[in-house]
Structures are given as C-alpha cells and as structure tokens.
C-alpha cells in the first residue's frame, strides 16, 4: 500500500493548524472536536505517566509548576489536576499557545480553575528555569527533525527539573484509526486533514535516538512506547537551583 510506504519517513507537509493566517470560528470548532479525539485515543495517559515518573525521580515535591507548550485548549491537563489532588500536590499549570483561538478555548475550559492560567506566547519567549516541568502533548511533531532539537533544547532550558513529551507513533494502524474516527465525529476540514497527517508526521524509535544525539549529553533522556500508539519521552536535568519567570 502507498500509505505504508509513505509512513516509513516523517511527513514534511504542514498541517492546516500551522497556518496562522487562517483560523477564527472554524479553528475553534476544530479545537473542540480535537478534544473528542484526544479522549477517544487516551491522549492524557502518556503525558501523565511521564509527569509522574519525573515527579518521582525528583523526590516527590509537594509543590509543582508545569508549563504546557502548544497546549491547544489544554484538555489533557484536567487529568493532571486530578492526579495532583490525589497526591496532595500544590500544582500550578500555565497553558501556552501561539494562537488566540486556542487560548480562548483554554480560558473557557478552565475559567473556574484558579490553578490554571493561560498565556498567548511563543515557546521561545520562555525564560530559563521558569517552571519545574515543561511538557508538550502532540506538539513536537509539528517540527522537522532539525527544528525539533532546537525546540526541545529550549523547553529543557525553560525547566528546572525536566521535560515530558507525549507524541504519536507513526504507524498504519493509528493512521487508519484516526482517518476513520475523524470522519465519524466531525465535518471540520482541520480535523479531516490534520488528524491523519499528524500521525504521518509522528515518530518511530530511530527519531528519538536521533533527537537524543542533538541535545545536551548531560541530560538523561528516556523514551517508551505506550498503548494506543504513543510515545512518552522524559528528559531529566541535572539537579540545579534557581528561579525564573515568563517574559
């Protein structure tokens, strides 16, 4: 099959959501429908597992600050808030996205949640050591392999403890599942186009090995395959002090 051959390497085509000259009501609808896809495919599980692992490695701190980069509407963070409650963690989450549509959806979703704030900004505006953890969920695949290493280096620099990445395993099974599900739950063109493409832009083991070679060798990077064709990547920094803030 043509698509199996095509999935051997990461797709370079841009998603519609990467075109910041468009958006508006159609993009906001896409973000709402994306929450359904995230729920169906268990998107919150791998990122939460990574956060829990990094939290344990860091001595289970009772206070924790997290920045979610490319957060969209930030829906995966609802499960992180419940996890923090179970472990009696005083948590603060900052959702960061570059589009106003995503920020508006996030503010609507968390308007009654004092532990969550929303910032519209570029990830490269983050100051060093400005949060304990910097996480991303289905964000890294938007970048090619060279730019991806730069993004991860900046995420790591912005964190005090480390980085957690959740992204998609590039494989025919999730590609087909997303293609079908997107058409069952939505008529939105963003969802129809970007859903399967996001899988084609996803990762295999060799991509994570290449990424590890492009970051600081003092960092401890691990990656693991998770059910429903996901990867969890955890990058732990050598323990340092220092405080930071958003610029």
Confidence of residue 25 (pLDDT cuts 50, 70, 90): very high
128 neighbors 153 (Cβ within 8 angstroms): no
Over the stretch 124-149, which tens digit does the pLDDT of each residue have?
A: 999 999 999 999 999 999 999 999 99
Q: What whole-number distance in Å separates Cα of residue 193 and Cα of residue 16?
A: 7
- Core vs surface per residue 159-176: b (16+ CB within 10 A) or e: bbbbbbbbbbbbeeebbe
pLDDT value at 61 more than 70: yes
- pTM exceeds 0.75, yes or no: yes
Burial class (CB in 10 A: 0-12, 13-18, 19+), 217: exposed
Over the stretch 191-214, which tens digit does the pLDDT of each residue have?
A: 999 999 999 999 999 999 999 999
- Tokens describing residue 114: 């004092």
Helix 100-109 to helix 25-40 angle (10° resolution) is 60
Write down the architecture of domain 2-236 according to CATH. 3-Layer(aba) Sandwich (3.40)
């Amino acid at each position: 099959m043509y698509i199996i051959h095509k999935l051997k390497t990461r797709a370079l085509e841009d998603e519609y959501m990467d075109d910041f000259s468009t958006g508006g009501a159609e993009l906001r609808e896409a973000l709402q429908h994306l929450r359904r896809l995230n729920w169906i495919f268990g998107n919150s599980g791998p990122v939460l597992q990574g956060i829990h692992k990094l939290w344990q490695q860091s001595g289970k701190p009772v206070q924790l600050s997290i920045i979610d980069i490319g957060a969209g509407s930030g829906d995966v963070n609802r499960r992180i808030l419940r996890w923090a409650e179970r472990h009696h963690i005083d948590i603060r989450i900052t959702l960061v996205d570059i589009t106003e549509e995503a920020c508006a959806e996030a503010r609507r979703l968390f308007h009654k949640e004092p532990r969550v704030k929303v910032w519209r900004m570029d990830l490269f505006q983050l100051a060093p050591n400005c949060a304990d953890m910097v996480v991303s969920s289905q964000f890294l695949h938007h970048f090619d392999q060279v730019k991806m290493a730069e993004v991860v280096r900046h995420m790591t620099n912005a964190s005090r403890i480390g980085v957690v990445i959740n992204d998609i395993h590039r494989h025919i099974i999730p590609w087909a599942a997303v293609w079908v599900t997107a058409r069952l739950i939505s008529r939105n063109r963003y969802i129809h186009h970007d859903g399967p493409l996001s899988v084609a832009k996803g990762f295999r083991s060799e991509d994570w090995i290449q990424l590890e070679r492009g970051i600081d060798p003092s960092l401890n990077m691990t990656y693991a395959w998770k059910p429903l064709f996901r990867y969890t990547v955890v990058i732990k920094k050598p323990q340092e002090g220092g405080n930071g803030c958003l610029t």
